[in-house]
A and B are shown apart, each in its own frame.
Chain A
Amino acid sequence: MNIFVRMANLDRRWIFVFLFLVVSLAYFLRNVTSVPVNTTKEVESIYNFIEGLDPGDKILLALDYDPSSLAELHPMSRAILLHCYRQDVKVVGMTLSQYGAGMVEEVFRNVKSEAERIYGKTVEYGEEYCFLGYRPYPAFVILGMGENFRIFFPRDYYDTPLDDLPIMHRVRNYDDLECVVVIESGTAADMWLVYGSARYNMPLAFGVTGVMAPDYYPYLGNALFGLIGGWKGAAEYEKLLEQEHDANRGMLAQVVAHLVIVLFIVIGNIGYFVSRKKTKIGD
């Protein structure tokens, strides 16, 4: 078998090994070198929206993802929460992911401590943020919250009645919040668009995995006022916030992994074309 035929039909195990090696190398070099990140309009618009809110304003942050996409979506959840705490914007948290409740609760707890350390502020549960927990059937929950949060969430994650939380005073439905930011890895994103944005017309922004991001670009400027796509989007937000963390450190691995995939696509196509040409000449 000549080399071009081998290139066209490369054993996938070589791709796995090569990808593993370069990503591992990039991981170990993450603190040594960094990749400059340019910000995009869709990420800037979310940043500017939150930056423009007044202290005491409230937003709904729905972290609708499960542990499978934790690595990709945690950095954007962290960045948005830090930004809100920096601006004294209050955050009503929730999740529509059945595996997400415990994980999301931990995100809120960790970022609270981090915000207190970085900004020297006291971030109190019930005052600056709250976590409503998880409810099944996303479409109905989204519709229900449009009428009254208390239909589906009479109590928060810790079993405290919503009316006992100062942050929830005078919050009945989406009209009492400045915007809804959804960090999403599943199908609930479509429901937020159809049942949330289309019916209740609240300002809506998404943070989604890199794979999902192209699906939601068509909604930008209409149903969505901003979109954070994958690690790159999270790295942009971190840069805007001047809190470069996991997403920025991971950019090197992201770049080399993508370049490796592109390299293999090029190798495959060269092998395919040359071997096909030789076959034609042979015929």
Chain B
Amino acid sequence: MKRRVPLMMVFVVSLFMVVQNFVPLDEWNWIYQFLLDWTMIIGILSLLLGMWSLWKVHTQKIKRKSENYGYSFITLSGLILMLIFGFFPGSGGIENYWYRSFFYYIMVPIQATMFSLLAFFIASAAFRAFRARSVMATLLLLAALVIMVRFVPMGPLSPIVSDAAGWILKVPNLAAKRAIIIGVGLGAVATALKVMLGIERSYLGRD
């Protein structure tokens, strides 16, 4: 029973979602909207679950004084402070001065810095990876150079580079990408069928 009920629910709901996608009747709209409402409710619950999990992992780290446990203090402080600033009655919610300041003066610079470093790593990786060691490596190198130059203004060379890049993107790239997408799509259909028919049950847990 413990397993049959969830399996039945998955089968019925997924069958409905498949059928309503291919046979869009107006009468089914309310069921579809009802299910969408449920995804939102489940989503909110999983958010709480995530917060509980984060709390548990980091408090355990602090208790055990695991390696780098100091960072856990920072993580939990961030969580608590943002909750207080955002939710405390009379704090102003998302308009709260500290809530906004923490976001703009801590979160934004941290993320922007991390992404900026990418330019340096890409330069270094490109230097090491793009070596014409074989015919295939040479093709990769040439394609990479054309695409790289395509995304910067090159004056009178721009139309020529743009045409060459366009051909690479719309012919070999398109062919490879479509093959991958079709493969992934078929794989997703197979996995979905396995879940729907109860062959794949790992989402139920071990008990």
Contacts and interface: CB of A to CB of B under 8 A. Distances in A.
B132 A269 contact: yes
By Cβ-Cβ distance, the 10 closest A-B pairs, closest first, are: A68-B115, A217-B169, A68-B111, A67-B111, A67-B108, A12-B124, A218-B174, A140-B39, A38-B158, A264-B127
Given A38-B159, A261-B148, A272-B131, A99 B124 contact: no
Main secondary structure of the interface of A (DSSP, over half): helix
A38 B155 CA distance: 7
6 contacts: A23-B119, A70-B108, A99-B111, A137-B39, A262-B145, A268-B127
A117 to B, nearest CB: 22
Interface stretch (A53-61, A120-128, A142-150): A142-150
B94 A102 contact: yes
B114 interface: yes
Interface in A134-175: 135-137, 140, 143-144, 147-148, 151-152, 157
Contacts, number: 151
Interface of A: 10, 12, 15-16, 19-20, 23, 35-38, 40, 66-71, 99, 101-103, 106, 135-137, 140, 143-144, 147-148, 151-152, 157, 199, 210, 213-215, 217-218, 220, 229-232, 235, 251, 254-255, 257-262, 264-265, 267-269, 272-273
Contacts of A257: 119, 123
B131 A268 contact: yes
A40 B108 contact: no
Q: Which residue, B109, B126, B159, has most C-beta atoms of chain A within 10 A?
A: B126
Interface residues of B, dominant DSSP: helix
Contacts of A229: 151
B182 interface: no
Interface string B97-119: 00010011001111110111001
Given A214-B147, A217-B174, A70 B112 contact: yes
Given A102-B103, A151-B36, A218-B174, A265 B112 contact: no
B13 to A, nearest CB: 13
A54 to B, nearest CB: 30
B170 A217 contact: yes
B153 A230 contact: no
A63 to B, nearest CB: 14
Given A151-B36, A215-B177, A217-B170, A260 B123 contact: yes
Contact of A71 (B43, B112, B126): B112
A15 B173 contact: no
Contacts of B132: 269, 272-273
Contacts of A23: 119
B40 A15 contact: no
Contact of A213 (B43, B145, B151): B151
A273 B132 CA distance: 9
B152 interface: yes
Interface in B117-136: 119-120, 122-124, 126-128, 130-133
A134 B101 CA distance: 19
B151 A232 contact: yes
B153 A232 contact: yes
A265 B43 contact: no
B60 interface: no
Nearest to B114: A68
B36 to A, nearest CB: 5
Contacts of B32: 147
Contacts of A220: 170
Contacts of A232: 151-153
B120 A19 contact: yes
A81 B131 CA distance: 43
Contacts of A12: 124, 127-128
A260 B148 CA distance: 12
Nearest to B36: A144
Nearest to B94: A102
A255 B36 contact: no
Contact of B153 (A213, A255, A262): A255
Interface in B35-71: 36-37, 39-40, 43, 47
Contacts of A20: 120
Given A147-B32, A218-B170, A265-B126, A152 B40 contact: yes
A69 B152 CA distance: 18
B83 interface: no
A37 B39 CA distance: 46
B29 interface: yes
